[in-house]
Amino acid sequence: MKTDPFQDFTASSDIDWSRSIPDIDKQLYAKYGITKAEQSFIESKIKPME
């Protein structure tokens, strides 16, 4: 059975949520082993909010 990953948004998280959105994205890509090809696909489909 597949479960969704739990994400810790507290100060003790392994992700530094105080960083910029692109920096947070990079941290999440590394944490979850997202390949460069997958990153390119994600970034081609999801545009930054302004």
Please check whether residue 10 lies inside any domain of the structure. no
Sign of CA dihedral 42, 37, 33, 50: negative
Amino acid at 13: S
Please check whether residue 7 lies inside any domain of the structure. no
Domain count, the chain: 1
For residue range 1-50, list pLDDT tens digits in order. 556 668 888 889 999 999 999 999 999 999 999 999 999 999 999 987 77
Query: Three-class SS of residue 15?
Result: coil
Please check whether residue 22 lies inside any domain of the structure. yes
pTM of the predicted model, to two decimals?
Answer: 0.76
Give the residue numbers spanning the domain of 39: 18-50
Please check whether residue 4 lies inside any domain of the structure. no
